Amino acid sequence: MVLAQAPERTALPSRELAKEVGQSIQSVAARLQPLVRAGLVAKHWGATHVPGRAYMITQEGRDYLARLEQRLPTHSWASRAHSSTSSPSNSATAT
C-alpha cells in the first residue's frame, strides 16, 4: 500500500500514486473513493506547486492496517505490498 508507506501527514499527488502502481489517474481516484468514504484515506486538493488531488492515509486507516497486520498468520501487509509492487496489475497496491 503506497499511502501507508508515505511519511505521516504526507499527502501524495494522484499523479504520483498512478505512476507508482502503473494505473491511470482516473483509475486510482476511483479505487480510492470507497476508502475516502470509509474514512481510511483523506482527499486533499493540491497546493499551487502540485495542482490536483492528493491522498493521505488517515490515522483510522493506519489503525485499520495495524489490526489487519495482527490477523495475518506469517507475513505483514507491508511485506506483501513490497513483493507485489513488481506487478503493476496488482490492484492491492493502489490503495
Q: Tens of pLDDT along 16-75?
A: 999 999 999 999 999 999 999 999 999 988 665 566 788 999 999 989 988 988 887 655
Amino acid letter, residue 69: E
Classified by CATH at the fold level, domain 2-80 comes out as Arc Repressor Mutant, subunit A (1.10.10)
- Between 14 and 1, the more confident residue is 14
Residues present in the chain in total: 95
Q: What are phi and psi of 22, to 5 degrees?
A: 70, 35
Q: What are phi and psi of 37, to 5 degrees?
A: -60, -35
Please report how many Cα atoms fall inside a 13 Å half-sphere around the Cα of residue 75, on the Cβ side: 8
Q: Where are the domains of the chain?
A: 2-80
Could you tell me which residues come within 8 angstroms of residue 52 by beta carbon, excluding any fewer than 6 positions away? 13, 14, 15, 25, 45, 46
